[in-house]
Amino acid sequence: MFRLFIILFILSPFGWVSPLFAGVQVQDQVATTGKGIMLSARTGSTFFAKGGEIVEFFLDGRSLGKRLSGGDGYAYMEYKPDRKGLFTIKVEHGNEKAEGLLLVVGKAEEVLLVGIEGGVLESIFPERLRDGVDNALKKLADRYRIIYITGMPLGPLVRERIREWGLPESVVLRWDRSVYEGLSDLGVKIKAVVGSPGLIAEVDDDSVKRYTFEESEEGKVVDSWHDLLSDPVVAAKHN
């Protein structure tokens, strides 16, 4: 709890705390074409759920319908995407609104998991991007779908920072092992994961190439994003 107060104290001057207390929240999600998923929204703040509330779901401005949140604050909307791409999810609850992203991956598309901590950022405090990450990810986005991974419970705010950093826009998922398992269950073809030694150590799949910029006994250590771009596994795209 003390650590949480420290984080809030650091973030509050930058306006990063207010979304934690918003009346409705939505997280980024990933789907594959032709396979149904449950879009979700949560009523109440990050810390206190509020059930029995009506939430309306929108996808790229088109209403999908309204649902009632349960006792845990979550409302769900079933959706079966029929085309690949990046779409905007918007949820409304009274006068409160929130937006997230839905990435729909095609059956032949491959994905790169990119950790914010250790992959995009060399340092969080002070904030410092890794050299060449912007150009590298722009080039990789022409070959692969990118999914950003973070350990921070501030997905929408991290996504806003991604825009400010000039990186390719995509979903931001809060990492735990179940995220990888969920992507695998959806049939997402993960080509590689790039990030901290801790992140790549949790991906123990021999079919997935793992890269880190820090000393590690797991995966492959590369010196820079430029070196990663020239790695034969990443450079070769097989669809």
**Same domain, yes or no, for 124 and 78?**
no
Domain that holds residue 215: 110-235
**How many CA atoms are closer than 13 Å to the CA of 125, on its beta-carbon side?**
4
Looking at residue 19, its pLDDT comes to 54
**Same domain, yes or no, for 59 and 133?**
no
Position 1 in a domain: no
Q: What is the pLDDT along the chain (239 residues), one digit of tens a residue?
A: 334 434 443 444 444 445 555 589 999 999 999 999 999 999 987 677 889 999 999 999 999 999 999 999 999 999 999 999 999 999 999 999 999 999 999 999 999 999 999 999 999 888 899 999 999 999 999 999 999 999 987 778 899 999 999 999 999 999 988 999 999 999 999 999 999 999 999 998 999 999 999 999 999 999 999 999 999 999 876 55
Looking at residue 11, its pLDDT comes to 47
CA distance 123 to 83: 37
Last residue of a domain, one of 73, 105, 137: 105
Domain count, the chain: 2
Position 178 in a domain: yes
pTM of the model: 0.89
For the record, the structure tokens of 97 come out as 């609104």
Looking at residue 13, its pLDDT comes to 44
Q: What CATH number does the domain containing 77 carry?
A: 2.60.40.10
Looking at residue 2, its pLDDT comes to 38
Position 4 in a domain: no
Number of Cβ within 10 Å of residue 69's Cβ equals: 23
**Same domain, yes or no, for 27 and 138?**
no
Position 94 in a domain: yes
Phi, psi (rounded to 5 degrees) for 238: -120, 110
DSSP H helices, 68-196, are 133-140, 155-165, 177-186
CA distance 58 to 182: 23
Q: How far is CA 143 from the centre of its chain?
A: 18
Looking at residue 7, its pLDDT comes to 46
Torsion of CA 123, 203, 224, 226, to 10 degrees: -130
**Same domain, yes or no, for 198 and 228?**
yes
- Rg (C-alpha) for the chain, rounded Å, is 18
Position 175 in a domain: yes
